Every structure is written in structure tokens, then in C-alpha cells.
Chain A
Amino acid sequence: MQPAIRLLVLASLAVAPLIQTNTYWQHVFGVALIGAILALGLQLLVGMAGLLSLGQAAFYGIGAYISAALTMRFGVPFILAFLIAGVVTAITSLLLVPIVKLPSSSLAVATLGFNIIVYLILLNEDWATGGSFGLLDVPPPHIFGYELTTERDVYFLCLAVLVLVYLGLDRLVHSRFGRALRAISQDEDAARACGISIIRYKSKCFLVAAFTAGLAGSLYAHHARYLNPNDFTFNKSIEILIMVVVGGLGSLPGAVMGAIVIVLMPEFLRSSGELRLILFGFLVVVLMGVSRGGLAGLAPLLTQRMARLRSSASAKSAEPGEIKS
């Protein structure tokens, strides 16, 4: 739509690790991009289709473990493992088909239950997952004969995946599929009267979201190079949900923004020590109040205010005594 602006954003994300050469920050940026991919997937579920899911971390974990196991045990090349992780994760989401028709709050609790079940499987089935010790020494990603060992290389890999996922979801949202999802989220009866199969579309939506989460999981496995069930509890699901809502429901750029802010904010707040998490909580609460649409809705709000201030200021100087908001 606005290729110039997209390019600008891409360029700024692309130069970030070149300007900031500290490997720690490059690592965190990579984590933020993976978070962005996760948030994009959940945005489709929550923001577009109105499905409140608290189980996204389960898919993330499944993708991560599949990708790690394939590369470590069977020597599958990274690219293939990455894709298989996405596909298999998407297939596991079919387990949720029976519950997609539940009303929103029950669905939230049921997906939370799904997350707990997956977590317990990751924790207890040592033979497959390494149990509570997790999987160590996941190999770094190999692409076409290159081993991406530095943080910067992996960052660019994540960026490439993020761009593809973003473009893909953007296309989906602005297609017949996306319209159907939004229709379902706004009025299920009317959507059915238009010929939309609610269960099929909700299931497809979970499928796409799970695929995305699977890809993110694979990236995470080869980025962090250590997997542990504790990183895939429902707390992670809640964190992803916070990213989406903070970024702004229904907005893809918002999801990316929300993820980056939620991942980086604690890093910035670290210097505030003991109060860090309290501040974080406050920021979440305040953000929920100041803007209906999260961060994505925040900036237009600010520009409006500014414009209003400016106009009222000029009105004031022109006609003192009469101020209209």
C-alpha cells in the first residue's frame, strides 16, 4: 500500500544491529523479532477472528521442540526442519477443532488447559523432549551451506521470516479469508447467513496462527539454542496476549510494535531494579486506558491532541475568551 514507508521501516529494522553492535542487544533484538512473529500469529486469532486464546505458547513450544529434535537427532537441514516445524505445529492445532465453537471466555480457559497439557507432555516425556532438563546445544541455523553463528546473522534470519510472515498475514487479512474472520468476530449469525462456516474458519484461523507460532518456535530453538519446558507455560501465552493487546487489537503493525515494546521494556526498566515489574504492570494498565487501540491507536491520539492544542492555542490568540474543543 505504502511501499516507501514499508521500506523505511524495513531499513530501520535492518540497520538496527549494524548501529548497535553489542551482541547482547543484538540477541535481545532477535528475541523481540521472534516475539513479533508470535504476536502476529495471535493477532490473527484475537484481533481478527475475536478468538481469545491463552494457549499460543503451546504451539510455540511444539514448533521449537520439533525443529530442535529434527536437526539434532535426524540431521535434518535447518530450512527443512523450520518448515516441518511450522506444518506439524499447524496440524496439531487440529486438536482444537472440537473446542473452537465455545464461547469466548470458555475458549480462553480451554486453550489455557491445552497449554497446560502440552507443557506437561514436554515436561514428562523425557525420551522425546529431554524432560525438565530440556534440550541443550541446539545447532545454529544452517542456510545453503552457511552457518549463522553470530547474533547478527540470526537477527537477519528472524527479520527475513518476520517480513515474510507480515506480508503473508497482511495479504490474508485483506482477502476473502480475512474478511470472513472479521465477519465472524463481529457477528457470528450474520456471518453464517453469508455462507461462512464458523467452525471451519475458526479452525483455519487456529491453523494459520499455529503455523506462525511453529515457525517462531523453530527460530527460537536455533536462536537461544537451549529449550526448556518452562519457557512454554501459559505465562508465555499471556505475555504474547499482552503484546497483542498493548500493540493494538486488529492491527498487524501494532502486533509487531507491541512485541518489540514488551520484550525491550523490561530491559530498559532493569535499572529500576526492585520496582521493575511494578512499573511494568503500571505501564500495561495505563496503556490499556489511554488508548483504545493500544500503541497502534496511541499515536493518532497524540497527533489529534497536538493538533487540537495547536488550534485551540491559535484560536485563543485570535479570539480570546472563546475556546472550543
Chain B
Amino acid sequence: MIGLKGQVLRAGLLASVLMVGSAFAASADTIKIGVFGPFTGDAAATGAAEREAVDLAIKEKNAAGGIRGNKIEAIYADDAGKPEEAVNVAKRLTARDNVVIMIGSISSPASLAASQVAAQSHTAQIVVSGTAQKITTMGNKWVFRSPVPDTKLAGDLAGFIHEKFPNVKKVAFLYVNDDFGRGGFEKFKEGGKKYGIEIVDEERYARGDIDFTAQLGRIKASPAQALVEWSRYAEGALVAKQFVQMNMTMPRFGCDGVAIPKYVELGGDAVNGVFYMTHYSSATAANIPAAQSFIAKFKKAYSKVPNAYHSEAYDAITMALLAIEKAGSEDRSKVRDALSKVSFESTRGPFKFDAKGDPTLVTHVVKIVNGKETNGRDIPVQK
């Protein structure tokens, strides 16, 4: 009790010093673009991909003289994949760093959380990999999306199964129990109805799970003729391994979460034969010139092949730069309006936004054959 007086005093002083001393001014002669995503935490790998792609594009642009003579500067902010942090960093980017436009985040909840800040601060936001349909259907005109929404991916996948595997009518659906997996599940259920494809077994797992024996066991015991899976690559690779361990043989279909070379690397032989839906794959990019030059540039810079996250992020930054150029000023609403009308050759084909802010891209199917990505749409109809 004796020390209480002092404690209260110190608490107050420390708090006020921390709070007051927290402003720092930002320099004004560059065009700032806010880039946020999970640079730490469980999804740090995807955040790193976003960063690599943005870095590459900005270096290029600056080497070419920037925009209106100004250099472009990316302000990176880590949301650790958490919605709470995403709100924080979005506020920081828009209020403290005065960015012209924001790119991010990777996960749908973090993107959704940040989109409120985008609307409040009148800053356009380009979501890099959040595929949840909801992001663009909330009536928020400030949010745009680089990837195609899960509705289209799942619907197209159902169509592909119907077209190439006409006998498959009963499927088991395995998904990661978060927005990403749940979105895929809901949309596939809807999309499948059109073709008479029924989900006879629904299995979930938690993000970061490593043991899928229980889920696969239930699927094996169910009447399903095929497995549709909405996983990210790390869990997806383990599912594949355990699928093989259990001597399961049904056809497997995945989503853009596994559209990453790491999936094949981690899964090894076990992923052979998997089909997955994606908006981008080096296997299907052969006739897209922008993709070819992107792959070449990327290989030169990082000596590896870009994955779907890279291409989505690269397209996002490309359209952001285009919009700033077209807007003719750094005014956020002008940039937003310019962005909504943007039209260019992206790494995933001709790019345009629809009224909601979603791209009008075509989707691709990849089949993994001997550890290589091949164009899945080329396969004959399976009897």
C-alpha cells in the first residue's frame, strides 16, 4: 500500500509518455502504397509471397521513373493473419502513413475486417487472396479483389467434375474449418446442385491440424465416389499423404489453396493425380504473354517459379499503379474510380472488374502428373 502512490504516478506517466510520444511524421515526396498481410504468424509464407511480388513490381516501376516523377514506396504492415491486427494496420496505413491505396490482406477475415477501415477512410483496397464471396457483396465500393471469388471457383469445379467425370454424383467434402474452407464448401454445395452432384459426407478440420486419420476414415467408410477438398497447401499435402497411407483411390479435387509448388514438394508422390482449380498456374499460362514475361522476371529476381499468390499480388500492385497513373492525382477517391475502370493484360489473362469489384477472369484446372502441373482440362472424359 505504501508504494501505491508511486505506482499510480508511474503508470500515468508511462502511459502518457508512450501515448504522446507516438507520432512520427512521414516524408511527403513519395507515393505511398500500403501493403499488409500476414508477414508473421501461421500464414507467414503467403505474406512473404505477397511481399516478393509487390517488391518486384515497385522496383520495376521506380527503375522506369516512377509515376509523374515521384518514386513509389510500399509501406508494409504485418497483420499476422488476425482480423484485429488487420483493423489496426489498416488504420495505421490510412491515418498515419497516408497511403494512396491499400493492397491486402491474404486471408478473408483479415481482408473483411480491413475493408471497413477502407470504407471509413475512403481508401481503395485490393484484396490479394481472400476468396470469400462476402468481401465484395457487402455493398462496400472501396474494396476490390484480385482473385476470383470462391463462388466461381467452386461452381467451375462442379462443372468440371460433371463434364469430365460424369459418373461421379456422390462426393465427400473435406475442408479447413475457417472462412476459406467454409466458403468453398457452401459454394460447392450450391454449384454442385446444378449438376446433380451431392455431398454425402462433410468433414472439417482445424487450421494447423496434422492428423486427418479420423476424417479420411469416415470418408473411406462413406458412399462417396470422389473427394473434394478445400485446403491450403500445407494441410493439403498431409491429407494427400495420409490418403495414400490409407490406400484410398478415389479421384481427388482441390482448390486454389494448393496451387503452389510447395504443395507438390511437401506431398511428394502422394499428390499425383490430384486435380485442382486455380486462377493461375504456370502450366496453364503458356498462352498468356503477361504471365510469360512475369515468370521470366520473377525467376531472374528470386530464382524460383512464381505461384498463384505471387501472381495475384503482382496483378494487384500492377493495377494499383495503373490506377494511380490514370487518376492523374494522388486523391484517394480519384484513384478508386480509376481502379474500378482499370483494364489491362494481367498474368492471368485480360483483367477487368465487374460491378462488385470482382475480376472477370477464367479459371483453370490443373492435374498433377508425376509431380508436374499439367492442364487438367485437356484430359479425356473419365468413365
Contacts and interface: CB of A to CB of B under 8 A. Distances in A.
B109 A134 contact: yes
Which of A10, A226, A256: most chain B CB closer than 10 A?
Answer: A226
Contacts, number: 164
A296 B15 CA distance: 13
A9 B15 contact: yes
Interface in B141-166: none
A224 B117 CA distance: 9
Interface string B180-196: 01110000000000000
Contact of B19 (A25, A136, A295, A300): A25
Contacts of B83: 134, 224, 226, 228, 230-231
Interface in A128-174: 131-134, 136-137, 151
A225 B116 contact: yes
A22 interface: yes
Interface residues of A, number: 58
B113 A254 contact: no
B19 A20 contact: yes
A133 B9 contact: no
Given A16-B20, A257-B15, A300-B3, A5 B112 contact: no
B23 A20 contact: yes
A5 B12 contact: yes
A99 B27 CA distance: 56
Interface in A25-84: 25, 27-29, 31-32
A260 B12 contact: no
B22 A224 contact: no
A261 B7 contact: no
Interface string B62-92: 0000000000000001100111100110011
A268 B21 CA distance: 10
Interface string B8-22: 111111111011101
A230 B22 contact: no
B248 interface: no
B52 to A, nearest CB: 14
Contacts of A131: 179, 182
B91 A24 contact: yes
Nearest to A254: B7
A257 B181 CA distance: 40
B360 to A, nearest CB: 24
Given A136-B112, A137-B116, A230-B109, A257 B20 contact: no
B112 A9 contact: no
Interface in A258-306: 260-261, 264, 267-268, 270, 276-277, 295-296, 299-300, 303
Contacts of B20: 16, 19-20
B109 A133 contact: yes
B8 A2 contact: yes
B214 interface: no
Interface residues of B, number: 48
A257 B132 contact: no
Given A134-B112, A230-B109, A253-B7, A13 B16 contact: yes
Interface string A1-20: 11001101110110111011
B134 interface: yes
A226 B116 contact: yes
A300 B11 CA distance: 12
A296 B22 contact: no
Contact of B22 (A5, A20, A276): A20
A20 B108 CA distance: 32
Nearest to B177: A123
Given A9-B9, A132-B182, A254-B11, A16 B16 contact: yes
Contacts of B200: none
A104 interface: no
Contacts of A22: 23, 95-96
Contacts of B231: none
Contacts of A24: 88, 91-92, 94-96
A15 B23 CA distance: 15
Contacts of A137: 116, 138
B82 A231 contact: yes
Contacts of B181: 132
A314 interface: no
Contacts of B40: 276-277
Contact of B134 (A133, A231, A253): A133
B5 interface: yes
A16 B112 contact: no
A17 B15 CA distance: 12
Contacts of B109: 132-134, 228, 230
Contacts of B178: 123, 132, 230
B231 to A, nearest CB: 14
A251 interface: yes
B142 to A, nearest CB: 14
B116 A136 contact: yes
Contact of A253 (B4, B22, B78, B116): B4
Interface in A194-247: 224-226, 228, 230-231
Given A20-B19, A22-B23, A260 B7 contact: no
A273 to B, nearest CB: 8
Contact of A12 (B12, B23, B179): B12
Of all A-B residue pairs in the complex, the 4 with the closest CB atoms, nearest first, are A9-B12, A12-B16, A24-B95, A16-B19
Given A151-B91, A224-B113, 4 more contacts: A20-B23, A25-B22, A132-B179, A257-B10
11 contacts: A5-B12, A9-B15, A27-B91, A131-B179, A132-B177, A133-B134, A133-B179, A136-B134, A253-B7, A264-B18, A296-B10
